[in-house]
Amino acid sequence: MKRILVTGSLGQIGTELVTALRRHPGVELVVASDIKMMPKRDGGDDGPFEYLDCTNQRQVEQVVRKYEVDTIYHLAALLSAVAEERPQVAWDVNLGGLYRVLEVARQNQCAIFFPSSIGAFGPGTPRDRTPQDTIQRPTTIYGVTKVAGELVCDYYHHRFGVDARGVRFPGLISHVAVPGGGTTDYAVEIFYEAIRNRRYTCFLEPNTRLDMMYMPDSIKAAIAVMEADPARLEHRNAFNIAAMNFTPEELTAEIRKHLPEFRMEYQVDPVRQAIADTWPRSLDDSAARREWGWQPDYDIATMTRDMLENLERKLRITEPGDQG
Ligand SMILES: NC(=O)c1ccc[n+]([C@@H]2O[C@H](COP(=O)([O-])OP(=O)(O)OC[C@H]3O[C@@H](n4cnc5c(N)ncnc54)[C@H](O)[C@@H]3O)[C@@H](O)[C@H]2O)c1
């Protein structure tokens, strides 16, 4: 029975990962943690929450010992667009935080999950069916910390035997928590605005193709890679995983099948466009499929239908009478 700590648990991924892990067979306890405080919820919480700054090794250590944690999902990070605004903080949190969590994992025999990203690739990387092992020379501070993170996780495994595993997430689409300042946030915002106002102003160009995934698939991947038979793992870390790829124009067309009056406008943000232009358009995920049976459940059509259904329900409750 696993005892799990999730750092950065109030973010887009953590919000849903904690819920999924708490229901997952073989999991005894899930400690949620963040530098933001947990909002008070009616009906009580379904598990412990700790204030935890991942750059503070003592704090990480105290929480790991207090709950006898054996597995850490280390999600705390600054996302690509935010990191570009505050590169020094991004270095401290994304790499300094990971290093400290790895040290605690080493000293307390914990397994660790580290989420890398399509941002770990750069302009020199083949952009279509990007191979598992290829050129990684990212030009963003986010990408630099992700490549270094992949390498230091591998190092801790080879050098110290720490069971560090992870995947490279594409842009993630979800309806529970809002995204935290990434380059693919448009693919979430578009659904909120389609329902609220029937129009959206996109910050990427209409033909910007990027690799994307629906949150249920990313949660499935994060859990599955940690449960994979280690004997079958050749890579262990930084697995490419893929589900769908599309442009803002193609997503608009898909949404229009459900909301024909939806209109898209464009006001390109040069910073985020420049980041997107260096990222893969699609990933080759054959290593993940071969080594631990990765397979996504959602494509653009099933994701769009599910997003619209769930968000319409959510906004009807949280913003009654305010929908277009
Ligand atoms: N969302 C995506 O599209 C995506 C894609 C690829 C990779 N990832 C990676 O997955 C992980 C989680 O992403 P997310 O989308 O949930 O991010 P998010 O920005 O939504 O959440 C990150 C959380 O980390 C917390 N945090 C920031 N600094 C911290 C610190 N010093 N100590 C503890 N907590 C801190 C924040 O308060 C926030 O709640 C990140 O490593 C991110 O790089 C995300």
14 Cβ inside 6 Å of ligand 1: yes
Q: How far apart are CA 110 and CA 250, in angstroms?
A: 43
pLDDT tens for the chain, 324 residues: list them.
999 999 999 999 999 999 999 999 999 999 999 999 877 665 445 799 999 999 999 999 999 999 999 999 999 999 998 999 999 999 999 999 999 999 999 999 999 999 999 999 999 999 999 999 999 999 999 999 999 999 999 999 999 999 999 999 999 999 999 988 889 999 999 999 999 999 999 999 999 999 999 999 999 999 999 999 999 999 999 999 999 999 999 999 999 999 999 999 999 999 999 999 999 999 999 999 999 999 999 999 999 999 999 999 999 888 887 655
Atom number of ligand 1 nearest to Cα 14: 16
Instruction: Pick from 19, 33, 35, 210 the residue to mutate for probing ligand 1's pocket: most ligand atoms within 8 Å of its CB.
Output: 35
Kindly list the distances between the CA atom of residue 219 and the CA atoms of 215, 241, 280, in Å, as whole numbers in the listed order.
Answer: 6, 12, 21
Q: How far apart are CA 55 and CA 282, in angstroms?
A: 33
CA 91–ligand 1 middle distance (angstroms): 13
Contact 230, 167 (CB under 8 A): no
| Catalytic residue list | 142
Question: Can you list the alpha helix ranges (DSSP code H) found in the chain?
Answer: 12-23, 57-66, 80-85, 87-90, 97-107, 141-160, 186-196, 215-227, 248-256, 270-276, 286-292, 300-318
